[in-house]
């Protein structure tokens, strides 16, 4: 089993037509451009009335399907079907959990959708495989890693009230058997989010990037979110074997109130991928523009569609909570770890990707360029192992920015690209070279690393005038990330971080300090 990640190719998006019709209509308008929209409805709604309502907002029914099936609520993410594949990319199947709410019609929606799209259905409804779960409290990287809050353990224990009493190990086994989750990361619940669904403050943007909601220091769920994040970073690497990248995004206040003092749970992580489009909840506040910018910078080429969710956020959910993706019947899987910035101006840059299709891969192609106004150059990628294909971008001069994407064609003729919006979307890296690494900065931060040269415990000292989020990483001279030093919020005034240089090979390294506003480097020398 391999449960799909949200950014994979979809054949449909499911919504339950029950509440917030103006928001649902905007979702349909954005989604139908990318895929089929399945509107699950119950009487008194009917195709004629729904068509009329959509039309009144300028939305036609091209690429829209009406599926008659009773629904109790709008929360399709929580009760909807899960798409998975046998043998990674073979047959599409549908997984159905026991919904963690007393809404029997909602709980039956996965069966209706599975029947409509014609997939085999596997249900966690019968002992010893019975499992209660909710979609807003689960995310996966598409390669066997899952994330949830400890709510899933509580609801499947004797304290859950569902008549189920599984140990954590038994929950792990069910998730592995039905969804291919072989590494299940469970985090502490947050004090103020009420429903304990992780999609309210966290989102995977790709296999190695976590988008994490950030409160001001010490506010509301901020401390627990940070503790959970540090737990993940300290104990788990991405599927590529490297630390997760972290992108911070504000958790804004509700008219100067946060969830700990009565404010609604405003969140920007509760977004949804719909092929090459991302729908993003906004609230008619100044922070909305910051959220849009972060998504556009993090996901180049994707169409970011803001939808105002102020009318529904008081019910503890937004766009992710009311949409559910259905994977394509014919997946062509491409997974690639984006190349980091590099100082190497002599050697070509190897681009390696995992590429799979049930018929086999006929060709794989690497597209690259160093100027967004110039045509793409292309070169064939070659098999380099089981499902692995390699290509190489020629070495470039200092200061060059490199943009690239991958395309593949299966033996069957099926074609796919990654990132999905390519060529409008792409990965990018810069050839920095040691000469471009400034020992000074304009951020107002005073940065010092000592001792330097170093051979053991080394201190990174940062004094700054503002409270900023910062990622502090250690890179070697080729631009390879060696280890994270710190990810979190820099306090005003003095900050000190430590790493042990004794296991490192002698040579030149660079400490990279990236905040929302600046990017600085410090060169160090390791001697033994």
* DSSP string over 36-71: EEEEEE-TT--HHHHHHHHHHTT---TTEEEEE---
Written as six digits, the tokens of 394 are 């020629």
Peptide bond into 28 cis (omega under 30): no
Q: Do 272 and 141 sit in the same domain of this protein?
A: yes
What is the C-alpha separation between 266 and 235, in angstroms, rounded?
29
Owner of token pair 């399907």: 65
In angstroms, rounded to a whole number, what is the distance separating the alpha carbons of residues 285 and 302?
Answer: 23
- In eight-state DSSP terms, residue 260 is G
Q: What are phi and psi of 259, to 5 degrees?
A: -55, -25
Nearest Cα neighbor of 499 from 444, 461, 443 is 461
Distance separating the N- and C-terminal Cα atoms of the chain: 48
Cα separation of 270 and 382, whole Å?
A: 39
C-beta of residue 66 within 8 angstroms of C-beta of residue 41: yes
Say if residue 229's pLDDT is above 50.
Answer: yes
Pairing outcome for strands 415-418 and 427-430: unpaired
Say what the pLDDT of residue 439 is.
41
Looking at residue 493, what is its pLDDT?
74
Distances (CA, A) of 236 to 19, 186, 230, 232: 39, 11, 10, 6
Whether 83 contacts 57, CB under 8 Å: no
From residue 186, give the alpha-carbon distance in Å to each of 145, 231, 443.
11, 10, 37
The answer to whether residues 352 and 291 belong to one domain is: no
Answer with the one of 300, 327, 354 that is the final residue of a domain. Answer: 327
Domain with 382, as residue range(s), is: 333-434
Query: Given pLDDT bands bounded at 50, 70 and 90, which one contains residue 433?
Result: low
pLDDT, one tens digit per residue, over 2-60 is: 999 999 999 999 999 999 999 999 999 999 999 999 999 999 999 999 999 999 999 99
Please state, in angstroms and rounded to a whole number, the distance separating the CA atoms of residues 247 and 205: 9
| CATH code: domain of residue 342 | 2.60.40.10
Check residue 496 and give its pLDDT.
86
Looking at the structure, tell me whether residues 318 and 341 fall in a common domain: no
Q: Could you tell me which residue, 404 or 399, shows the higher pLDDT?
A: 404
CATH number at residue 486: 2.60.40.1930
Alpha carbons 225 and 215: distance in angstroms, whole number:
9
Please tell me whether residues 222 and 269 are part of one structural domain: yes
Residue 267 contacts residue 213 (beta carbons within 8 Å): yes
Determine contact, residues 8/143, Cβ cutoff 8 Å. no
Distance CA 251, CA 484 (A): 24
Domain count, the chain: 3
Whether the per-residue pLDDT at 516 is higher than 80: the answer is no
DSSP H or E segment with residue 432: none
Do 417 and 492 lie in one domain? The reply is no
Q: What is the CATH number of the domain that holds 69?
A: 3.75.10.10
* Spatial distance between the Cα atoms of 438 and 444, rounded to a whole number of angstroms: 14
Instruction: Say yes or no: 303 and 354 in one domain.
Output: no
- Percent over 90 (pLDDT), the chain: 80
List Cα–Cα distances, 288 to 16, 251, 318, 362, in angstroms.
26, 10, 14, 44
pLDDT score recorded for residue 91: 97
443 and 384 in a common domain: no
* 194 pLDDT higher than 70: yes
Instruction: Please indicate, yes or no, whether residues 30 and 90 belong to a single structural domain of this protein.
Output: yes
Cα–Cα distance, 238 to 240 (Å, whole number): 5
pLDDT in tens, 414-430: 999 999 999 999 999 99
What mean pLDDT comes out for the span 430-436? 65
| 368/492 same-domain check | no
pLDDT attached to residue 443: 52
Last residue of a domain, one of 327, 348, 373: 327
Q: What angle do CA 207, 36, 421 make, to 5 degrees?
A: 40
Q: Identify whether the C-beta of residue 137 lies closer than 8 Å to the C-beta of residue 151.
A: yes
Which pLDDT does position 468 carry in this prediction?
Answer: 80
Cα–Cα distance measured from residue 215 to residue 212, given in angstroms and rounded to the nearest whole number: 10
pLDDT band at 509 (very low <50, low <70, confident <90, very high): confident
Output the 3-class SS for 96-146: ECEECCCCHHHHCHHHHHHHHHCCCEEECCCCCCCCEECHHHCEECCCCEE
pTM exceeds cut of 0.85: no
**Residues 156 and 63 both lie in one domain:** yes
Q: Which residue has the higher pLDDT, 129 or 508?
A: 129
Domain endpoint, select from 392, 417, 434: 434
Q: Are residues 506 and 400 in the same domain?
A: no
Average pLDDT along the chain: 94
CA–CA separation, 190 vs 493, rounded Å? Answer: 29
Choice among 167-176, 236-245, 281-290, 482-491 with the minimum mean pLDDT: 482-491
Choose between 204 and 502: higher pLDDT.
204
- The percentage of the chain sitting over the pLDDT mark of 70, rounded to a whole number, equals 98
Kindly state the helix (H) or strand (E) to which residue 151 belongs, with its residue range: helix 151-155
Mean pLDDT of 222-231: 95
Same domain, 421 and 450: no
């Amino acid at each position: 089993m391999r449960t799909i990640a949200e950014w994979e190719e979809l054949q449909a998006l499911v919504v339950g037509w029950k509440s917030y019709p103006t928001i649902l209509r905007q979702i349909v308008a954005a989604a139908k451009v990318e895929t089929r929209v399945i509107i699950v409805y119950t009487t008194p709604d009917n195709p004629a009335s729904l068509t009329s309502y959509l039309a009144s907002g300028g939305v036609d029914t091209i690429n829209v399907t009406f599926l008659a099936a009773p629904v109790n609520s709008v929360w399709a993410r929580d009760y909807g079907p899960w798409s998975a594949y046998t043998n990674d990319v073979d047959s599409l199947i549908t997984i159905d959990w026991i919904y963690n709410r007393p809404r029997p019609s909602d709980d039956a929606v996965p069966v209706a959708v599975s029947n409509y799209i014609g997939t085999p259905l596997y249900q966690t409804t019968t002992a010893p495989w019975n499992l209660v779960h909710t979609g807003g409290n689960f995310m996966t990287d598409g390669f066997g890693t899952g994330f949830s809050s400890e709510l899933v353990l509580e609801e499947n224990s004797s304290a859950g009230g569902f008549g189920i009493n599984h140990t954590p190990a038994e929950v792990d086994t069910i998730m592995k058997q039905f969804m291919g989750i072989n590494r299940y990361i469970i985090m502490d619940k947050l004090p103020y989010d009420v429903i304990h669904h992780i999609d309210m403050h966290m989102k995977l943007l790709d296999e190695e990037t976590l988008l994490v909601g950030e409160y001001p220091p010490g506010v509301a769920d901020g401390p627990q979110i940070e503790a959970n994040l540090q737990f993940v970073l300290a104990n788990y690497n991405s599927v590529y074997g490297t630390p997760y990248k972290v992108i911070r995004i504000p958790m804004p206040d509700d008219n100067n109130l946060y969830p700990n003092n009565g404010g609604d749970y405003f969140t920007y992580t509760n977004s949804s991928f719909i092929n090459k489009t991302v729908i993003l909840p906004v609230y008619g506040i100044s922070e909305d523009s910051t959220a849009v910018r972060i998504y556009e910078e993090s996901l180049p080429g994707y169409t970011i569609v803001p939808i105002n969710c102020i009318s529904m956020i008081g019910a503890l959910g937004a766009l992710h909570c009311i949409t559910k993706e259905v994977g394509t019947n014919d997946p062509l899987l491409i997974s690639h770890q984006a190349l980091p910035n590099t100082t190497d101006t002599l050697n070509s840059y190897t681009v390696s990707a995992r590429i799979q299709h049930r018929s086999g891969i006929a060709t794989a192609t690497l597209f690259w360029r160093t100027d967004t106004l110039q045509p793409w150059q292309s070169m064939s990628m070659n098999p380099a192992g089981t499902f692995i294909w390699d290509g190489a971008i020629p070495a470039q001069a200092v200061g060059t920015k490199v943009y690239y994407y991958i395309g593949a064609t299966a033996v069957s003729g099926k074609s796919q690209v990654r990132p999905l919006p390519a060529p409008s979307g792409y990965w990018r890296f810069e050839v920095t070279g040691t000469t471009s690494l400034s020992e000074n900065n304009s951020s107002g931060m005073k940065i010092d690393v000592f001792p330097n040269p170093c051979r053991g415990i080394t201190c990174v000292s940062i004094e700054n005038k503002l409270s900023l989020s910062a990622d502090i990483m250690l890179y070697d001279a080729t631009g390879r990330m060696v280890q994270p030093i710190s990810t979190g919020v820099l306090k005003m005034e003095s900050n000190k971080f430590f790493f042990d240089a004794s296991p490192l090979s002698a040579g030149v390294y660079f400490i990279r300090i990236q905040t929302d506003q600046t990017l600085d480097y410090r060169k160090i020398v390791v001697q033994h």
